[in-house]
Amino acid sequence: MSLSEQLETAHRFGVRAAMAGLQDAALEEVRLTGPNVPRLADAAVSSATPFVRAPLLALISQALLLHPPAGDDDERCPTCGTSAPCATASTLVMSA
């Protein structure tokens, strides 16, 4: 599954979870019901997603500083000591 397919799947799961949360009986009088719940849940997940991803993207960025895809002056990964891009950099670039 490609990264964009994984992100789309994660978004769908997030919307389903948000729909369940908005309709939770424990919310009592503020519980939402009706045909607008999916639209509201999608809007909530869409606006929250960048904030959810931010810590992960920060970690990927820090790891790329240790494993620069272009390598050092000798085109080697300064952390792994292998030819650049090292396996870590290759994986991280695909994830970012």
Which of 18, 45, 86, 92 is in the footprint of Zn ion by CB under 5 A?
86
Task: Find the shortest distance in angstroms from Cβ 58 to Zn ion.
Answer: 19
Q: Are 15 and 45 in contact (CB under 8 A)?
A: yes
Site residues (CB under 5 A) for Zn ion, limited to 23-42: none
* 63 lines the binding site for Zn ion (CB under 5 A): no
Q: Which amino acid is at 62?
A: Q
Choice from 15, 18, 77, 92 touching Zn ion (CB under 5 A): 77
- CA–CA dist 26, 21 (Å, integer): 9
